[in-house]
Structure 1
Amino acid sequence: MISTAGTALFLVGGGGLAQAQGVTPTPSAPAPSAPAPASANAGKPSHRAVEDGNWTDEDAIRFWTPERIATATDPALPAQAQAPSPSSSPSSSPSAKNGLHRVAPAGPSAAADMPTAEHFLGLKSVGTIFTYTTEPDTGRMHAHKCSASVVESPDRDLILTAGHCSGGKAVFVPWYVAEKTLDKQPYGFYRVSDWFVDNRYVHNSKKAISDLDFAFGRLKPSQTGKEAQDVVGANKLLRTPKYLNKVTMVGYPSSHNPEDHAVRCPTQTEALPGFYQIQAKCRGMWGGVSGGPWFSTVDWTAGTGEIIGNVGGYNGGGNDDNVDWLTYSPMHGDWFFRLYDEAKKNQHVSHGESYDQPALPYSMGSGDTWTHARLLASGEYTGDKNGDMIVVWTDGEVTLYIGDGDGGFVGERRLSGPNDTWKNVKSLTGGDFSGGAGSDLLAVWNSGEVKILPDVGTKGLGGGIKLADAGSIWSHADQITAGSFGTAKYVTDLLVRWSDGEVTDYTAVGDKGFGTEHQLLKPNDTWKQATLVTAGDFTGGANWDTLVRWSDGKVSQFQETGPGGLGKEVQMAAPQSVWSHDVVMTAGSYDSNGWPDDLVVRWSDGETTMYTHTGATFGTERMLVAPK
Structure 2
Amino acid sequence: MTGSHIPVPPISLLVAKFFAPLLAASTISALPAPPVLLTANRPSTPLAGAPFGGMPQIGELVWQNPDGSPGAKLCSAVAVDSAGGDLIATAAHCLGGVVSRIGAPMTVAYIPGSDKGSRPYGVWYPTRIIRPPQWMNGVKNPDFDIAFATVARQGDPRPLAFVTGSEHFGAVPSTGRLAVLVGYPYTSPDPIACRTRVRFRSPTQLELDCAGFPGGISGGPVLTDIDPDTGIGTVVGVMGGYQDGGTRSDITYAAALTPAIRQLYREAAQY
Give the TM bin, normalised by the shorter chain.
Answer: 0.7 to 0.9
Q: Is 1:293 matched up with 2:221?
A: yes
Q: Is 1:337 matched up with 2:266?
A: no
Distance 1:332 1:214 in 2: 9
User: Which residue of structure 1 aligns with residue 25 of structure 2?
Assistant: none
CA displacement 1:212-257 (0-9 Å, x = unmatched): 00011111234433211000111111101334321010111112x2
Task: Give yes or no for contact 1:203–1:316 (8 Å, CA) kept in 2.
Answer: no
Shift of 1:60: 8.5
Shift of 1:57: 7.7
For these two proteins, the number of residue pairs brought into alignment is 220
Please, which of 126, 146, 169 is the counterpart of residue 214 of structure 1? Answer: 146
Shift of 1:177: 2.5
CA displacement 1:377-419 (0-9 Å, x = unmatched): xxxxxxxxxxxxxxxxxxxxxxxxxxxxxxxxxxxxxxxxxxx
Task: Give yes or no for contact 1:297–1:306 (8 Å, CA) kept in 2.
Answer: yes
Describe the SS at the equivalent of 2:163: helix
Distance 1:246 1:227 in 2: 31
Distance 1:262 1:212 in 2: 25
Q: Residues 117 and 144 of structure 1: is their aligned pair in 2 closer, same or farther, counting only changes over 3 Å? A: closer
Please, which of 116, 121, 129 is the counterpart of residue 195 of structure 1? Answer: 129
Question: Which ranges in structure 2 are unaligned for 5 or more consecutive residues?
Answer: 8-44, 99-105
- Letter aligned with residue 55 of structure 2: L
Describe the SS at the equivalent of 2:243: helix
Shift of 1:303: 2.9
- Letter aligned with residue 191 of structure 2: A
Distance 2:73 2:114 in 1: 15
- Letter aligned with residue 58 of structure 1: S
Q: Is 1:124 matched up with 2:56?
A: yes
User: Which residue of structure 2 aligns with residue 175 of structure 1?
Assistant: 113
Task: Give yes or no for contact 1:159–1:217 (8 Å, CA) kept in 2.
Answer: yes
Q: Residues 203 and 254 of structure 1: is their aligned pair in 2 closer, same or farther, counting only changes over 3 Å? A: farther
After TM superposition, the structure 1 = structure 2 runs for residues 261-276 of structure 1, keeping only pairs within 5 Å, are 261-273=190-202, 276=204
Distance 2:129 2:54 in 1: 25
Task: Give yes or no for contact 1:60–1:171 (8 Å, CA) kept in 2.
Answer: no
User: Which residue of structure 2 aligns with residue 326 of structure 1?
Assistant: 251
Please, which of 210, 219, 234 is the counterpart of residue 306 of structure 1? Answer: 234
Q: Residues 200 and 235 of structure 1: is their aligned pair in 2 closer, same or farther, counting only changes over 3 Å? A: same
- Letter aligned with residue 282 of structure 1: C
Please, which of 231, 242, 249 is the counterpart of residue 174 of structure 2? Answer: 242
Distance 2:162 2:177 in 1: 30
Shift of 1:187: 1.0
Task: Give yes or no for contact 2:84–2:270 (8 Å, CA) kept in 1.
Answer: no
Task: Give yes or no for contact 2:82–2:270 (8 Å, CA) kept in 1.
Answer: no
Q: Residues 152 and 198 of structure 1: is their aligned pair in 2 closer, same or farther, counting only changes over 3 Å? A: same
Distance 2:79 2:61 in 1: 12
Q: Residues 144 and 263 of structure 1: is their aligned pair in 2 closer, same or farther, counting only changes over 3 Å? A: closer
- Letter aligned with residue 210 of structure 2: C
After TM superposition, the structure 1 = structure 2 runs for residues 593-612 of structure 1, keeping only pairs within 5 Å, are none
Shift of 1:261: 0.3
CA displacement 1:406-459 (0-9 Å, x = unmatched): xxxxxxxxxxxxxxxxxxxxxxxxxxxxxxxxxxxxxxxxxxxxxxxxxxxxxx
TM-score (norm 1): 0.33
Q: Residues 149 and 222 of structure 1: is their aligned pair in 2 closer, same or farther, counting only changes over 3 Å? A: farther
Describe the SS at the equivalent of 2:78: strand
Q: Which has the higher helix share?
A: 2
Shift of 1:58: 2.5
Question: Which ranges in structure 1 are unaligned for 5 or more consecutive residues?
Answer: 1-55, 62-112, 135-141, 347-628
TM-score (norm 2): 0.74
- Letter aligned with residue 239 of structure 2: V
Q: Is 1:186 matched up with 2:120?
A: yes
Distance 2:221 2:137 in 1: 19
CA displacement 1:126-152 (0-9 Å, x = unmatched): 011112599xxxxxxx95511111111
Distance 1:339 1:156 in 2: 16
Task: Give yes or no for contact 2:173–2:198 (8 Å, CA) kept in 1.
Answer: no
Please, which of 56, 59, 69 is the counterpart of residue 5 of structure 2? Answer: 59
Task: Give yes or no for contact 1:196–1:343 (8 Å, CA) kept in 2.
Answer: yes
Please, which of 225, 228, 232 is the counterpart of residue 160 of structure 2? Answer: 228
Distance 1:172 1:117 in 2: 22
Distance 1:229 1:303 in 2: 13
Distance 1:317 1:344 in 2: 24
Distance 2:90 2:229 in 1: 22
Distance 1:238 1:132 in 2: 30
User: Which residue of structure 2 aligns with residue 27 of structure 1?
Assistant: none
Q: Residues 133 and 280 of structure 1: is their aligned pair in 2 closer, same or farther, counting only changes over 3 Å? A: farther
Distance 1:222 1:300 in 2: 31
CA displacement 1:194-220 (0-9 Å, x = unmatched): 111101215998x8x100000111112
User: Which residue of structure 2 aligns with residue 6 of structure 1?
Assistant: none
Task: Give yes or no for contact 1:309–1:331 (8 Å, CA) kept in 2.
Answer: yes
Distance 2:52 2:228 in 1: 11
After TM superposition, the structure 1 = structure 2 runs for residues 398-413 of structure 1, keeping only pairs within 5 Å, are none
After TM superposition, the structure 1 = structure 2 runs for residues 82-481 of structure 1, keeping only pairs within 5 Å, are 115-132=47-64, 143-166=72-95, 167=98, 168-180=106-118, 185-201=119-135, 209-255=141-187, 257=188, 260-273=189-202, 276-319=204-247, 323-346=248-271
Shift of 1:188: 1.1
Task: Give yes or no for contact 1:202–1:210 (8 Å, CA) kept in 2.
Answer: no
- Letter aligned with residue 160 of structure 1: A
CA displacement 1:312-345 (0-9 Å, x = unmatched): 10121113xxx31110000011111111111123
